[in-house]
Structure 1
Amino acid sequence: MTSAPDEIRTDRLLLRRVGPGDVRSAIAVLSDPATNRFNPAGPPSAEQAARMLVEWQAHWARDGIGYWAVELPETGEVVGFGGLRHHVLDGEPTFNLFYRFRPRHWGRGYAPEMARAAIDWAGRARPDRPVVIITDPGNAPSQRVAEKLGFAHAGDSGTVEGPVLVWRHQEATMAT
């Protein structure tokens, strides 16, 4: 398998492999109630968010792929986290696209910009593995981002936390 790059630059963002220095940003983003509005489990505690960051680092070490810290290069501010992880959906190996951003940076197009870079990498490195987004049925903002990125609703599924919608990337319909 081809590993994801430790760092990708987009027009406005630096996407870099998460590290121990990102713990404060991870706690701020992941534990914010606004970023968990559609999370049935609610926001994680600071300790849980810090453990999630350690888990993300383990995914990079084990799988050669994971979530990036999404940074504004001119200031070094981490505005969010996102990227791809291995996921098995109904027995099929996929890449799950995840993104979570600080609320003050919502509406600036950072999630689609980060996601396009992740989708582009997956298309080049692993064209055999589909990219999916899994959303809560009520999460209209994430569903709009998914549609903007060229994903189509591919069906419903469930997790231990409840029902979810599955969005599958449709290369031919990729929006710009």
Structure 2
Amino acid sequence: MADLREVAALHADERVWRHRPEGKHPSIEYSRDKVLQMVQQWASDGLGYWSVRLRTPVADLAAGEFIGVGGCALDTTHGWWNLYYRLRPESHGHRLATELSSAALIAAHGCDPDRAVVASLAAENHASRVTAERAGLRLQWQGPDDDHPGAVRLVYADRPVDVAQASS
């Protein structure tokens, strides 16, 4: 909970929700509930999303500065690790999401190597696609995004996944 204010500010920032504006957190209470879910995932699954802080300075960002949230958490609907990365716009362009994603894959494989690591993303989110590919994930499925009529969803994974599962 130490990073709640930073997590809430990140998830309330419309700049990080350009491709899915409805994902924006409406309140700090909502963000608190999400952080509590992350804590619970760590307790129940041995892995979850984490706060991301810089080890060393990058551009105008100081060492130790909060830049985002990411990692892998168990998607209990599909039985795979969901790779997530959401970083402050000020940190974009330095391959930090790729570094985060690579560390998340290592953590997921160390926790349960038999589960696929999957990133589900909007086709128009080019930066997210590039991050998934740089982390070693490969496109496994693309098709209609059930939650966004007319939009295309891409599913990247570190191994083949059930296409029927991917589309749900």
What range is the shorter-chain TM-score in?
0.7 to 0.9
Q: Distance in 2 between matches of 1:42 and 1:126?
A: 29
User: Which ranges in structure 2 are unaligned for 5 or more consecutive residues?
Assistant: 57-62, 160-168
Cross-structure match for 1:161: 147
2:45 to 40, 57, 63: 63
**How far apart are residue 158 of structure 1 and its match?**
6.3
Cross-structure match for 1:136: 122
2:55 to 61, 70, 73: 73
* Counterpart code for 2:49: Y
User: Which ranges in structure 1 are unaligned for 5 or more consecutive residues?
Assistant: 1-19, 171-176
Equivalences for residues 72-151 of structure 1 within 5 A: 72-73=54-55, 75-88=63-76, 92-151=78-137
Q: 1:87 to 1:58 in 2, by over 3 A?
A: same
Q: From the two aligned structures, give the one with the greater strand fraction.
A: 1
Asked if 1 retains the 8 angstrom alpha-carbon contact of 2:47 and 2:111, the reply is no
**How far apart are residue 52 of structure 1 and its match?**
1.4
TM-score of the aligned structures, taking structure 1 as reference length: 0.76
**How far apart are residue 122 of structure 1 and its match?**
2.3
Residue by residue, what CA displacement relative to the aligned partner does 1:69-113 show, whole Å, maximum 9, x if unpaired? 111235321111101111156xx5210100000000001111111
Asked if 2 retains the 8 angstrom alpha-carbon contact of 1:155 and 1:167, the reply is yes
User: Secondary structure, in 3 states, of the residue corresponding to 1:21?
Assistant: coil
2:22 to 31, 38, 41: 41
**How far apart are residue 30 of structure 1 and its match?**
1.0
User: Secondary structure, in 3 states, of the residue corresponding to 2:2?
Assistant: helix
**How far apart are residue 159 of structure 1 and its match?**
6.4
Asked if 1 retains the 8 angstrom alpha-carbon contact of 2:101 and 2:131, the reply is no
Q: How many residues were matched structurally?
A: 150
TM-score of the aligned structures, taking structure 2 as reference length: 0.79
